[in-house]
Structure 1
Amino acid sequence: MPLADHTGTCWFVGLTTLDVVHRAAGRPDRDEKVTASRQDVAAGGPAANAAVTAAALGARAVLVTALGDSPVARAARTDLETHGVEVHDVVAPGQDFPLAVSAVLVDEATGERSVVSADAALAEAPPPRFLGDLPHPDVVLFDGHHPVIAGAAVGHLENRDPRPRVVLDAGRWRPLFAELLPVADVAAVSARFAVPGHEDVTAGAHALGARGVVVTHGDGPVEWSSGDDTGTVPVPAVEARDTLGAGDAFHGALAMALAGGAALPEACATAVEVAGTRVRHVGPRSWLAEVRR
């Protein structure tokens, strides 16, 4: 199936990291070292990776995040801008910020990744002062990190006409999702996502206010629910060589398709195809050439 031909303007609000990715024949045991067969360094984080995906697919991708002016942050910014992302940093120019460096190991045999990262836990990001200067978005994606930034963005969206659609990247529960689910048009969650007080993830997300819910099951079918309509989207079998950022690619493609006016089932089908392309390629950026517009 060809990718849906949709473009639009998407904001991605949340986390940026710098990922140091090693590929090796296996994971080291305790107090053991292994030699990597490949090394990559690229910007990471759910919002940042989703923005890279959307930009490659032809959307105007606007990233609202916390970077600072450290060498680590400059490396992350350079990678993002190289791949077409418009980066808007809430940290004042010239000020440092403890950007997380993620240590990633990808298993050559299975393509599975292991990640150690501080995410956004090292410091509280300041609020953005520039949201009114950004292009009007068709879709805004939140990844559940940087609560101060997210809160400011939610407040800003309440006064926008037309109001953009809100998409959540909800891989695992964070307290911020209790505030974001009530404003979500689409909550994209993993099957392991747990809404406190609810056994069923779809029912729980709807109960907290999400109007649409998408549930991913790894290589199993994607479930979607919107109002009284429900359905599934099959996931084609592919050789998974590298799963790092596959979920982020799914969310970036989902946001891009929704921004262009796609209905939820069509947007899910586009996201499934893009995520499948991601896992067939080794390395955090090599796969973009296959989907770039």
Structure 2
Amino acid sequence: MRSEKWDAQIGGVKFSIRNLKSEIAIDVLCVGHAAYDISLQVSHHPGADEKCFAGSRVECVGGPAANAAVTVARLGGRSGFAGYLGNDLYGERHFRELSAAGVNTDLLARGDFPTPLSVILVKPGGQRTVINHKNQTPPLTHLPHDLSSWQIGAILFDGHEPDISLPLAEDAKSRGIPTLLDAGSVHRGTLMLTPQVDFLIASAKFAREFTGKADPEAALPELAALAPAAMITLGERGLLWKRGEESGSYPAFAVEAIDTTGAGDVFHGAFALGVVWKFGFPKLLQFASAAAALSCTKSGARNGIPGAKEVERFLEKLEKPDLKGFGNH
């Protein structure tokens, strides 16, 4: 595809704008947050005034929507990312990795605000604590291209760019494009998008904060009333799901977890790609759960993202888990 390129300022943020000569075809457009991750392996969670030493250090790029975009690409799909990166060292590293992974970056904004940075403490068993610094980077208010001619299979939001996400969700609905929300926590973006999407994938934290109910099983019907399909992910305990009158659970695959950072992002990216590939609902859960499990076996959010062949081999070695709630479907 041939293109011409120039820069423009939109809402105080610089876009590298291409005058596209042909249609863009993307399986999954991922909209939201990108960050640079510094992961430190520690033996325990440090207490107040405690000096803690890290056993190892891993640096890689991350962020929910950006991780999901790389996941789609590694699994063999065509992905795009819409979000922000700074014109700094971390932003340049992230941009190069997105490009190397084959992620379309035509909707990526660059500016002088710093790239968001996450410091992650990874404890034995893969449990982690994330400290994110986003500074005062303003939210994006415009996209540099009219997407009406783009062929998009599905759109995945993480809620971190609400001002561009809501119009995209409304446009997707009018065009029959499936939409998904990675609802990690309650904030302006997730609250705006929750009733707008076809697949609401909530963390246990979001479900608890949104409904006020500590029990995920009690919270699920309230979430399911807002979207055609709703799920609550529970980490190593798998997930709960409800679709119309059907509901059930799906167990997590047992792996030796090294680092769980980004596992949810991988689940969301794989699930979105499965939607585009028109997988049945049981296969969607299996495919996304397997990809997420494999991502936990290496340190660093991006380092463990598997390819399609790796997921296929992993599933071939395992017995099919019990799909509770599916009956004979």
C-alpha distance 221-286 of structure 1, shift in aligned 2 (>3 A): closer
- The range that moved more, 185-194 or 247-256, is 185-194
Of 247, 250, 260 in structure 2, the residue corresponding to residue 230 of structure 1 is 247
Asked whether the equivalents of residues 182 and 210 of structure 1 are also in contact (C-alpha less than 8 Å), the reply is yes
- The whole-number CA distance in structure 1 between the counterparts of 2:304 and 2:246 is 33
Mapped pair 1:282 → 2:299: yes
CA deviations on 1:208-248 (whole Å, 9 max, x unpaired) are x3110111111113222111122222222222211111111
Q: CA deviation at 1:133?
A: 6.8
- The range that moved more, 81-90 or 49-58, is 81-90
- The whole-number CA distance in structure 2 between the counterparts of 1:25 and 1:131 is 49
Counterpart residue number, 1:5: none
The residue identity in structure 1 corresponding to 2:121 is L
Counterpart residue number, 1:44: 62
Mapped pair 1:179 → 2:192: yes
Q: Aligned Cα RMSD in Å? A: 2.4
C-alpha distance 142-74 of structure 1, shift in aligned 2 (>3 A): same
Stretches of structure 1 that go unaligned for 5 or more consecutive residues are: 1-7
Which secondary structure does the structure 2 equivalent of 1:187 belong to?
Answer: strand
- The whole-number CA distance in structure 1 between the counterparts of 2:221 and 2:173 is 25
Mapped pair 1:13 → 2:26: no
Q: TM-score, normalised by structure 2?
A: 0.77
Q: Considering fraction of residues, name the structure with more helix.
A: 2
C-alpha distance 72-236 of structure 1, shift in aligned 2 (>3 A): closer
Of 207, 219, 229 in structure 2, the residue corresponding to residue 201 of structure 1 is 219
- The range that moved more, 134-143 or 256-265, is 134-143
- The whole-number CA distance in structure 1 between the counterparts of 2:285 and 2:136 is 31
Q: CA deviation at 1:186?
A: 0.7
Q: Considering fraction of residues, name the structure with more strand.
A: 2
Which secondary structure does the structure 2 equivalent of 1:138 belong to?
Answer: strand
C-alpha distance 292-37 of structure 1, shift in aligned 2 (>3 A): farther
Q: CA deviation at 1:175?
A: 2.6
The residue identity in structure 1 corresponding to 2:157 is F
Mapped pair 1:100 → 2:109: no
Compare CA radii of gyration and give the structure with the larger one: 2
User: Which structure 2 residues correspond to residues 1-293 of structure 1 after superposition, within 5 A?
Assistant: 9-91=27-109, 95-107=111-123, 109-119=124-134, 122-132=137-147, 135-160=150-175, 163-194=176-207, 196=210, 199=213, 200-207=218-225, 209-288=226-305, 291=308
Asked whether the equivalents of residues 183 and 200 of structure 2 are also in contact (C-alpha less than 8 Å), the reply is yes
- The whole-number CA distance in structure 2 between the counterparts of 1:13 and 1:220 is 27
User: Percent identity at matched positions?
Assistant: 30
- The range that moved more, 77-86 or 56-65, is 77-86
- The whole-number CA distance in structure 2 between the counterparts of 1:72 and 1:281 is 22
The residue identity in structure 2 corresponding to 1:20 is I
- The whole-number CA distance in structure 1 between the counterparts of 2:156 and 2:292 is 17
C-alpha distance 52-90 of structure 1, shift in aligned 2 (>3 A): closer
Q: CA deviation at 1:24?
A: 2.7
- The whole-number CA distance in structure 2 between the counterparts of 1:176 and 1:283 is 26
Q: CA deviation at 1:11?
A: 0.6
C-alpha distance 257-96 of structure 1, shift in aligned 2 (>3 A): same
Q: CA deviation at 1:156?
A: 3.3
Q: CA deviation at 1:290?
A: 5.5
Number of residue pairs matched by the alignment: 280
- The whole-number CA distance in structure 2 between the counterparts of 1:211 and 1:182 is 10
Asked whether the equivalents of residues 35 and 63 of structure 2 are also in contact (C-alpha less than 8 Å), the reply is yes
Counterpart residue number, 2:12: none
Q: CA deviation at 1:121?
A: 5.6
Stretches of structure 2 that go unaligned for 5 or more consecutive residues are: 1-25, 311-329
Asked whether the equivalents of residues 90 and 127 of structure 1 are also in contact (C-alpha less than 8 Å), the reply is no
**Whose RCO is larger (CA < 8 A, sep 6+)?**
1
Q: CA deviation at 1:46?
A: 0.7
- The range that moved more, 265-274 or 71-80, is 71-80
- The whole-number CA distance in structure 2 between the counterparts of 1:198 and 1:283 is 32
Asked whether the equivalents of residues 120 and 145 of structure 1 are also in contact (C-alpha less than 8 Å), the reply is no
Which secondary structure does the structure 1 equivalent of 2:248 belong to?
Answer: strand
